[in-house]
Chains A and B, each alone.
Chain A
Amino acid sequence: MIALERRPEPSRAWQYATPLLAVALTMVAGGLMFAALGKDPFAAIRTIFWDPLFHPQFAAFSRPQLLVKAGPLILIAIGLSLGFRAGVWNIGAEGQYIVGALCGAAAGLALYPSDSVLIFPMMVLAGALGGWAWAMIPAILKTRFNTNEILVSLLLVYVAENLMASLAVGALRNPEGGGFPGSRNLAQWDAASNPELIAGTGMHWGVAAAFIAVILAYVLLARHLTGFHIRLTGEAPRAARFAGVSPARLVIFCLGVSGALAGLAGLFEVTGPAGQISIDFNTGYGFTAIIVAFLGRLHPVGILLAGLLMALTYIGGELASFMLGIPAAAIQAFQGMLLFFLLAVDVLTNYRIRLGRREVAG
């Protein structure tokens, strides 16, 4: 019989080893899936994990994409991880990302075609405020009326999507766009653009913000009393009450920070890689960031690595579907496996496997 036995303390070694094991298991199971689809599993895995960075022909294009895609994932995931640590489940980062982009873009476009240097900073602020405000809706509903923040934040994603669609064909539509939906191109307006800071790297202000967020989150969790209270609330809510933590304030703080960071990610995306508000501006960063947060063990440095890995599977997945004809759904299933295996092997942190005869209940 195989039995699970609770460890007296969580194993530190396994805490670090489980993400690697999960990646390895995902490669095996994903390889089997690709083989079942009639594709060469080794070629598929190599195309996803290796070619984006080192393929002689494609790497020049796909390598900068790594940071472009990882930036928003990391920025959003850092915010989410603070809440997840405290047991505050913001599932609606996608909505906060959209509203952040909308508010930032609207604030900038209101002053078009000014070339003041203050335009971009003001848009950044407006983006953060927009995401924050959107996250305050579930926060206040939870603290005032005890609603479930999971449902409220998730449903607000669909409200945000429709808000964006209506603005893209309405108030924010490019007056010189010939009637096509979508706003002016912000990336082509110098005062509002978020350019590549170092040519050929994909590095833009959003990526820089993500790195700064990683550092600040690390300091917050490791050194600051607020971070300590976040961890305490997640691990032992009654002990947190005893320590003097106000649950309502913590909910407001966690949702506020994650909303603001998601809003920032949206703003940097709309002013840079995406360039404009369009009907299909959002591409699911807010949801993928949930996976990134867990893949990174809710730890800032882990999230940094997980964001890069996740971005790699995105780019590699696109490459694989383009070069090997692997369906996009299979790529998504592959990414899902990553989270599945991570959660599954997580049990090894707190339990050890014991092979032996069964213990009589007691």
Chain B
Amino acid sequence: MSDGGDLLTLDGLTKAYPGVVANDDVSFAIAPGRIHALLGENGAGKSTLVKTVYGLVKPDTGTMRLAGADYTPASPQAARAAGVAMVFQHFSLFDALDVAENVALGMEDPPPRRQLARRIREVSRDYGLPLDPGRIVGDLSAGERQRVEIVRCLLQNPQLLIMDEPTSVLTPQEVEILFRTLRQLAAEGTAILYISHKLEEIRALCDSATILRLGKVVATCTPAEKSARELAELMVGTTLATPARAAGGRGETLLTLDALSQPALGPFGTPLREISLEVGAGEIVGIGGVAGNGQDELLMALSGETRVRRDAIRLRGAAVGHLGPVARRRLGLLTAPEERLGHAAAPDMSLTENAVLSAHVRQRLARRGFVDWRRAKDYAEHVIAAFDVRTPGPGHAARSLSGGNLQKFVIGREVMQKPDLLVVNQPTWGVDASAAAAIRQALLDLAAGGAGVIAISQDLDELMEISDRFAALNEGRLSPPRAAQGLTVEEIGLMLGGAHDMEVAHAH
């Protein structure tokens, strides 16, 4: 199936791990100058596939050809030497070093510093990615850090650039800048393999797409010709239900945040600065923002893990800022943290034990200090059934569940306690599309039943789908909330702090 015009062809790649076939007979080709999307849910095999191309994983069977020659990279060094570069989802940068030093660390034979700095300036100017080689990486925004990684790749003049979920940490404006850069690269003949599960982005950016499901190629298509819904259904393999929302007005005020401030917890924390917000019965307030702008701190202040000024948090008018998590739960203020394993749930404990973790107060799973394990097991089974958590039973350890299933359990555990106010942080992060839809529906149903919900998320599409009002968290400050209906992407972007004044970059 070697087609003379293709840069990279994959033919019958199979990679099995114990218990799971990550890639099953995967074949596709990428032509020079094309942006090719690799689309699939978590666990569909995208990561294994790109790691194979980048020399991190050796396939069991199958062959790859790059620019007409056999391509069997034994290591990332070999892959880079062959002209394949990759920008990872999680950056591999040293905070304490400056940009030029970080770039040099990722190169096989870095040129002298002065020359390298000049090359960085040239490349960043040519591709609209402004970067000062002398700045310390620790001071850069997420978007700027990503530029360091991209520039590092571009300095090696790659034939193929792999980008793994590049937009998950960017504001809409930064995404626009990135897309212009990628289009320019493609126009110059670089092939780009773009991995994402954000369908609208792929429709806007990519020339072709390969869709993976459970390790197999299920479709190859031109994304612009498909609707986002069609793509999602190809990814999931079933038809998706759009969350249904009942139109309801905002009821009495349940939660009041009054100039909630809190110093940073530790050297890499973000302080919360004078956050004020009111949440009414029956409404969902979406809080957007790029990670690291105070989301964790806000959740912990609301859960009671960190105590704040008494009347900075009021529930139905009663000051609760000084209360711990147990007392707040008793009053009806429940939370679900972002990190499933280790924060929301104990990895090695069973689901029954994890049910006791946060539900023993409201579900009366303990009597005079003694845990009623029968009731706890019943409650865990109840959550498992109501939220369709896929597990052999409540006796199994939390860490044995997939991310999506554990997240359904964690959200379900709180929702089933009938909270007056529920705060969730990244409710669908790393969760497959069908589980995400179920979780969003549960939040909508909860609000429809008269509870207030605060949804903290980086996924703006999600927030627009479920929120009644939207506010942005930026460097620990919360913007005044605005009605979500009719809010444009540009307005949201500006609320999130824009593109850190880098818009001019593409002006010339």
What is the interface of chain A, defined by CB distance below 8 A to chain B?
A: 5, 8-10, 223-226, 228, 231-232, 235-236, 238-244, 246, 354, 360-362
Contacts and interface: CB of A to CB of B under 8 A. Distances in A.
Contacts of B356: 225, 228
Given A232-B349, A235-B349, 12 more contacts: A8-B397, A9-B399, A223-B370, A228-B353, A236-B349, A238-B339, A239-B342, A239-B345, A239-B346, A242-B358, A354-B18, A361-B56
Contacts of A236: 342-343, 345-349
A271 to B, nearest CB: 33
Q: Which of A225, A231, A232, A239 has the largest count of B CB atoms less than 10 A from its CB?
A: A239
B32 interface: no
Contacts of A231: 349
Nearest to A9: B397
A242 B344 contact: yes
Given A225-B371, A239-B343, A362 B349 contact: no
6 contacts: A225-B360, A231-B349, A232-B346, A239-B343, A243-B357, A244-B326
A239 B366 contact: no
The 8 closest A-B pairs by CB, nearest first: A244-B326, A244-B325, A236-B346, A362-B57, A360-B58, A9-B397, A362-B56, A238-B343
A228 B344 CA distance: 16
B18 A242 contact: no
Contact of B399 (A8, A224, A239): A8
A228 B58 CA distance: 44
Interface residues of B, number: 39
Given A242-B303, A242-B358, A226 B369 contact: yes
A360 B400 CA distance: 24
Interface in B8-56: 18, 48, 51, 56
A239 B344 contact: yes
Nearest to A226: B369
A235 B325 contact: no
Q: Which of A235, A238, A243, A354 has the largest count of B CB atoms less than 10 A from its CB?
A: A243
Contacts of B371: 223-225, 228
B56 A239 contact: no
A238 B358 CA distance: 13
B324 interface: yes
A246 B324 contact: yes
A244 to B, nearest CB: 4
Contacts of A242: 303, 305, 325, 335, 337, 343-344, 357-358
B195 to A, nearest CB: 16
Interface string B326-355: 100100000101010011111111000100
A178 B321 CA distance: 67
B358 A243 contact: yes
B282 interface: no
Contacts of B48: 362
B172 interface: no
Nearest to A246: B324
B204 to A, nearest CB: 31
Contact of A362 (B18, B51, B329, B337): B51
Contacts of A240: 346
A241 B346 contact: no
